[in-house]
Structure 1
Amino acid sequence: MRDVEYDPQEESAYECFDCGTIVVEESCPRSCPDCGGSMRNRLTTFE
Structure 2
Amino acid sequence: MRDVDQNPNEETPYECFQCGNVIVAEDNPGQCPDCAGSMRNRRTPIE
Counterpart of 1:3? 3
Once superposed, what is the RMSD of the aligned Cα atoms? 0.9
For structure 1, which runs of at least 5 residues remain unmatched after alignment? none
Q: Give the percent of matched residue pairs that are identical in Structure 1 and Structure 2.
A: 60
Q: What is the alpha-carbon distance in structure 2 between the residues aligned to residue 12 and residue 22 of structure 1?
A: 10
**1:4 CA drift (Å):** 2.0
TM-score (norm 2): 0.91
Q: Which amino acid aligns with 1:43?
A: R
Superposition pairs of residues 1-47 of structure 1, within 5 angstroms: 1-47=1-47
For structure 2, which runs of at least 5 residues remain unmatched after alignment? none
**1:3 CA drift (Å):** 2.5
**Residue-pair matches, total:** 47
